[in-house]
């Protein structure tokens, strides 16, 4: 356990940041999971809306610094590619 006053504050700060980061991580995973489920179920129109949500979440999380801009771009690109491939098969 921390002893000094500044170490105690740092611990509180770390705990708060951890909670926020876990929420951000869950949001990204959940939005991608939803998109993949809709694609598998061949619900292309709903998947397009889910793709917009993936874009929004990825951009927001990159803006806050949880992931880097290139990773957000890579996630968005892969998600769009999945949807494009699924819509071409139908």
- Give the CATH number, domain containing residue 32: 1.20.58.110
What is the model's pLDDT at position 90? Answer: 72
Cα–Cα distance, 30 to 20 (Å, whole number): 15
Calpha distance 59→52 (Å, rounded): 11
Predicted confidence at residue 67, as pLDDT, reads 96
Residue 4's pLDDT is 96
Q: What total number of domains does the chain contain? A: 1
**90 token code pair:** 């139908």
Beta-carbon count within 10 A of 18 CB: 10
- Residues lower than pLDDT 50 in the chain: none
Q: pLDDT, tens digit, for every residue of 53-73?
A: 999 999 999 999 999 999 999
Global pTM reads 0.87
- Tell me, what's the pLDDT at 47? 96
CB 67 within 8 A of CB 21: no
The pLDDT value recorded for residue 41 is 94
pLDDT at 89: 82
| Residue span of the structural domain in which 39 resides | 5-89
Q: What pLDDT shows up at residue 49? A: 96
């Amino acid at each position: 356990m921390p002893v000094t006053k500044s170490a105690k504050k740092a611990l509180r700060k770390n705990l708060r940041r951890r909670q926020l980061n876990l929420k951000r991580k869950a949001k990204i995973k959940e939005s991608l999971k939803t998109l993949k489920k809709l694609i598998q179920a061949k619900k292309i129109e709903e998947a397009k809306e889910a793709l917009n949500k993936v874009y929004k979440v990825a951009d927001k999380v990159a803006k806050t610094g949880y992931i880097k801009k290139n990773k957000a771009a890579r996630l968005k690109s892969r998600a769009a590619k999945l949807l494009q491939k699924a819509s071409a098969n139908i």
